[in-house]
Amino acid sequence: MCPVCGPLFGQKGFHAHVICHCLLLETDRGLVLIDTGLGMQDLLHTKARLGKMIARFGKIENNLELTAIAQIQKLGFNPKDVQHIFVSHLDFDHAGGISDFPQATVHVLSSEYNATQNLNHYKRKARYKVKQFQQHRYWNFIEPIANDDWFNLKQIRNFDLFENDLLMIPLLGHTAGHSGIAVRDQDQWLLFCGDAYYSHLQLDGQHKLRTLNQVEQFFAEDNLARVENLKRLQTLSQKHPEVQLICAHDPVELARYQ
């Protein structure tokens, strides 16, 4: 997406360059997709799925080859082999691709899904587009009980579907049930942070991204929790080199892997 005003997203220039970073994992339980970005139907029927405001001002690149399902096929995989989807949260730019994988089980914090069923606030109306996933059949609603330590954060207790190689890390604040997903690679970790931050510049704590901070505060369900979790992520990034952090929308972080 290329919405106007780069500083809103911690970038320079008139237009921002906003990507929807997703991960595909090969596991002994099939393919696992972490976040889904915008789906095929979002690009084919943007106004009907996302609304006129997003269709007009989101500046979404209408390229079906950028969808998760198309990229999975391009890699030589069968999209039907995607057995599990982990979503950091259900904002329209993270959950749109769920409908492209009707056979997959979607794992999400129960507090996040519950928030999508109560759209009596303008923030929730703007971010959740329930048409994207209301017909999906397979869900695993995870209680946001986090008692086990994971570095300086907490992890969901008793979630051992992938034998502790894939963890859900509650990072509440941006939404009511926002979660990070940690992936183990031998003695290293990759922590997908979703929208817990927007720009890699936020991780060192030295850059004063005032406009971005105001935007994040405006859309946060719980801004105090958001700020506290951002501080924890900053500490994690600075003190634990064995943990690599990425967020969902920073093109600089995506470029590391291309």
- pLDDT of the chain along its 258 residues, tens only? 988 788 888 898 888 899 999 999 999 999 999 999 999 999 999 999 999 999 988 999 999 999 999 999 999 999 999 999 999 999 999 999 999 999 999 999 999 999 999 999 889 999 999 999 999 999 999 998 888 899 999 999 877 788 889 999 999 999 999 999 999 999 999 999 999 999 999 999 888 899 999 999 999 999 999 999 999 999 999 999 999 999 999 999 999 998
User: For residue 33, how many C-alpha atoms fall within 13 Å in the half-sphere facing its CB?
Assistant: 33
Residue 225 inside a domain? The answer is: yes
Residue 248 inside a domain? The answer is: yes
Q: Using N-to-C axis directions, what is the helix angle for 210-219 and 223-239, rounded to 10°?
A: 130
Give the domain range for residue 244.
6-255
* Token pair of 6 as six digits: 């780069």
Residue 103 inside a domain? The answer is: yes
Per the CB < 8 A criterion, the answer to whether 90 and 108 are in contact is yes
Instruction: State the first-to-last Cα distance of the chain, in angstroms, to the nearest integer.
Output: 18
Residue 74 inside a domain? The answer is: yes
Residue 62 inside a domain? The answer is: yes
Residue 169 DSSP one-character state: E
Residue 42 inside a domain? The answer is: yes
The Cβ of residue 231 has, within 10 Å, a number of other Cβ atoms equal to 12
* pLDDT in the model for residue 208: 83
Residue 251 inside a domain? The answer is: yes
* pLDDT in the model for residue 229: 98
The Cβ of residue 225 has, within 10 Å, a number of other Cβ atoms equal to 17
Counting every residue written for the chain, the total comes to 258
* pLDDT in the model for residue 164: 87
Burial of 162 (0-12, 13-18, 19+ CB in 10 A): middle
Residue 195 DSSP one-character state: T
Residue 64 inside a domain? The answer is: yes
Q: Hunting for tokens 């183990």 — which residue is that? A: 184
Report the amino acid identity of residue 206: Q
Burial 209-218 (b: 16+ CB within 10 A, else e): beebbebbee
* pLDDT in the model for residue 188: 97
- Identify the CATH number of the domain in which residue 156 sits: 3.60.15.10
**Nearby residues of 70 by Cβ (< 8 Å), 6 or more positions away:** 40, 64
- Report how many domains make up the chain: 1
- pTM, entire model: 0.95
